[in-house]
């Protein structure tokens, strides 16, 4: 089978359609897909243009595209369903049964999932993101106001995880890189000692860490197998000795790392009312 085209059709940015669609398609290994996002399909004209594009792709590919739709308005959904694609309508699949179960008609309002429906929650995410940036890589050091402080050797995923925790969940996350000085002394930095209950360690397999570091600084001591093994061994001993929870990030996505941290620590997710 040749490459199949996936269309993500949304009346907003397309984040929900992409997330749900990609999650479903990961169950089909060995197939090649081309993803096309059609965001802000908010009028009949735009819906009809989306149908024309889907139909043109069906003709060019010789096989019908797969269409993931999160359109809310009934008239727009009806238009898209006339396309020559396999239309998977998330709104119809889930909202209809919920209306029956709750015996209540949904609002059919667009932009509820990713818009600024709750300004306070949105501001919390902005503030958390600013906090993560100000307290990244040992800078800042405002651990008093942190919900969690990620520690670990350089390039094990601390910064992207902090930013994801902040933007997605409104979590105030700081991070501190364990240095050679910390590891050789086999002790935590003094400024972390009083925040032991907030610490969470990230680790990674030596082969993967060496690969990442070598891409950043090729043929350096920083990326050498000996240095990598020393840092990881010393960091893991330090973390275990202080009873700090930890996670191997080698085969984990940022989303999974963040979710495991929240599940382990019990930190509140601040992304919902």
Confidence of residue 15 (pLDDT cuts 50, 70, 90): confident
Handedness of CA 50, 55, 60, 62 (dihedral sign): positive
pLDDT digits (tens, 9 = 90+) for 45-87: 999 999 999 999 999 999 999 999 999 999 999 999 999 999 9
Q: How far apart are CA 154 and CA 273, in angstroms?
A: 36
% of the chain surpassing 90 pLDDT: 81
Residue 27 has pLDDT above 80, yes or no: yes
pLDDT digits (tens, 9 = 90+) for 113-171: 545 556 888 888 999 999 999 999 999 999 999 999 999 999 999 999 999 999 999 99
For residue 94, the surrounding DSSP H or E stretch is: helix 90-102
69 near 85, Cβ under 8 Å?
A: no
- Which residues are CB-contacts of 118 (< 8 A; sequence separation ≥ 6)? 273
Q: How far apart are CA 268 and CA 170, in angstroms?
A: 9
- Count of CB atoms within 10 A of residue 15's CB? 15
Query: Environment class of residue 93 by beta-carbon count within 10 Å: exposed (0-12), middle (13-18) or buried (19+)?
Result: exposed
254 near 157, Cβ under 8 Å?
A: yes
More reliable by pLDDT, 265 or 115: 265
- Average pLDDT of the chain? 92
DSSP for 196-256, please give it: GGGEEEEE--HHHHHHHHHHHSTTSGGG-HHHHHHHHHHHHHHHHHHT--EEE-TT--HHH
Strands 199-203 and 173-177: unpaired
Q: How far apart are CA 123 and CA 129, in angstroms?
A: 10
3-state SS assignment for residue 264 = helix
Handedness of CA 230, 203, 131, 197 (dihedral sign): negative
Please state which of the ranges 90-99, 189-198, 248-257 shows the lowest mean pLDDT. Answer: 90-99
For residue 11, the surrounding DSSP H or E stretch is: none
For residue 126, the surrounding DSSP H or E stretch is: helix 119-134
Give the pLDDT score at 273. Answer: 47
Give the pLDDT score at 1. Answer: 55
Give the pLDDT score at 122. Answer: 84
Q: How far apart are CA 230 and CA 211, in angstroms?
A: 16
pLDDT digits (tens, 9 = 90+) for 196-255: 999 999 999 999 999 999 999 999 999 999 999 999 999 999 999 999 999 999 999 999
Which whole-number Å values give the CA distances from 145 to 128, 148, 169, 178, 259, in the listed order? 10, 9, 16, 20, 21
Give the pLDDT score at 118. Answer: 67
């Amino acid at each position: 089978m040749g490459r199949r085209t996936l269309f993500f059709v949304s009346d907003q940015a397309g984040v929900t359609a992409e997330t749900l669609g990609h999650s479903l398609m990961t169950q089909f290994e060995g197939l090649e897909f081309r993803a096309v996002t059609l965001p802000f399909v908010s009028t009949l004209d735009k819906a009809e243009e989306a149908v024309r594009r889907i139909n043109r792709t069906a003709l060019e590919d010789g096989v019908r595209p797969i269409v993931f739709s999160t359109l809310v308005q009934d008239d727009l959904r009806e238009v898209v369903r006339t396309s020559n694609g396999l239309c998977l309508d998330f709104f119809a699949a889930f909202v209809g049964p919920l209306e029956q179960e709750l015996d209540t008609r949904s609002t059919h309002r667009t932009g509820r999932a990713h818009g600024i429906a709750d300004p306070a929650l949105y501001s919390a995410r902005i503030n958390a993101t600013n906090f993560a940036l100000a307290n990244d890589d040992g800078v800042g050091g405002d651990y008093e106001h942190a919900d969690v402080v990620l520690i670990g050797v350089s390039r094990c995923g601390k910064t992207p995880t902090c930013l994801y925790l902040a933007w997605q969940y409104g979590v105030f996350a700081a991070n501190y890189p364990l240095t050679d000085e910390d590891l050789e002394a086999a002790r935590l930095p003094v400024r972390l000692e009083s925040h032991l209950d907030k610490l969470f360690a990230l680790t990674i397999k030596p082969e993967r860490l060496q690969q990442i570091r070598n891409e950043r600084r090729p043929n350096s001591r920083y990326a050498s197998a000996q240095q990598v093994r020393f840092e990881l061994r010393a960091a893991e001993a330090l973390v275990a000795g202080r009873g700090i929870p930890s996670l191997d990030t080698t085969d984990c996505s940022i989303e999974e790392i963040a979710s495991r941290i929240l599940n382990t620590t019990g930190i509140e997710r601040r992304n919902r009312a």
